[in-house]
Chains A and B, each alone.
Chain A
Amino acid sequence: MRRRVLKEDLRLKKIIKNITLADWTLFLVLLVVSVAGIFITKEALPRGTDVTIEINGEPAYTFPLNVDRTIPVSGPYGDTLIEIKSGRARIREAHCPNRVCVKQGWVSKGVIICLPNKILVFVGSGGGDKSGKEIDAVTG
């Protein structure tokens, strides 16, 4: 019994030893960068005022966030229902395989993406939508 514990201990020690200093450094750097990144992106982006819906990479509709409404958008997987209610937006109903977009729930700032339907719901402020334009033209 005691010998087994010792052996287990030795094995653990070997594993820990095999983590080099470079491994630790890389891990800590990545941790700091990602955690800092989360806070920076949260701070840098102002709270949204309107909702832009893009279909196939092209802006299709823009609605103010403070007016409640439900918008049906058709895509390759049938109709997708986008709901705007009390300053937030969500995809209420979709028929894509994973329904990642539906599971994401309400968003008051940021994006909801549905890759299969090629729908992107962007909650932001009006001035921000022009930045992606040139790239749209190249790929579209």
Chain B
Amino acid sequence: MQSRDRYRIALLSAYAIALHGFESLLPTPIPWLRLGLANIITLVALLLYGFRTAMMVTLIRIIIASIFRGTFLGPAFILSFGGGVSSTIAMGLAYKISRNLFGPVGLSLIGAVSHNIAQLALAYVLFIQRIEAVLIISPVILLIGTLSGVTNGLVSDFLIRNILKKNGDKFQDLARE
């Protein structure tokens, strides 16, 4: 790993942790509502620097943020970890398989949905073990995930555009697409 990559991962992780922390401070009307703002950073990392960087940033963010909040290795951490890793993998796969089919918004939606599905599956297997409970709550979670996924996708799109505009010469391969 080059030192430039390390610097980049550290910076992106710092942004992601800050967003993650900020998000947990926001009051929400529904207790389980999470906006997934940190996914913006994961998506930007994926599109600009590739899958490895995105995965590193996700792992660092989840582990460090959970240590800050005191939930490391607890139930909330397991859910967060499963959701984060699976959404990064899903976005990476979707981007690799269909390079031009989905824009940032579509990728963000894919990430949000796989995050939700992974969390519901984990919660079902590990904690709830009652299919009715999962079925009742899953459409609500999916709806919230869709709306926040679109918002995050638009923000990511905006960010990527501005980064490319500012230092376009550094991303020659992307600019040509």
Q: How many A-B pairs fall under 8 Å by CB?
A: 116
What residues of A have a CB within 8 angstroms of the CB of B146 in the complex?
27, 30-31, 34
- A20 lies within 8 A of B76 (CB): no
Cα(A25)–Cα(B130), bound, Å: 32
Q: Given A120-B133, A128-B132, A27 and B105 touching (CB < 8 A)?
A: yes
- A20 lies within 8 A of B143 (CB): no
> How many interface residues does chain A have, given as a range?
35 or more
What residues of A have a CB within 8 angstroms of the CB of B161 in the complex?
11, 14-15, 18
B163 within 8 A of A: no
Cα(A97)–Cα(B70), bound, Å: 10
Cα(A128)–Cα(B113), bound, Å: 28
For residues 20 through 42 of chain A, which have their beta carbon under 8 Å from a beta carbon of chain B? 20, 22-23, 26-27, 30-31, 33-38, 40-41
> How many interface residues does chain B have, given as a range?
35 or more
Q: Looking across the interface, which residue of chain B has its beta carbon closest to that of A15?
A: B157
Cα(A33)–Cα(B139), bound, Å: 8
- Per-position contact with A for B112-155: 1 when CB-CB < 8 Å, else 0? 01000000000101111111110111111011001001100110
Q: Given A15-B157, A41-B136, A100-B32, A23 and B109 touching (CB < 8 A)?
A: yes
Minimal beta-carbon separation of A19 from chain B (angstroms)? 5
Q: Looking across the interface, which residue of chain B has its beta carbon closest to that of A129?
A: B130
Q: Given A38-B143, A41-B136, A131 and B127 touching (CB < 8 A)?
A: no
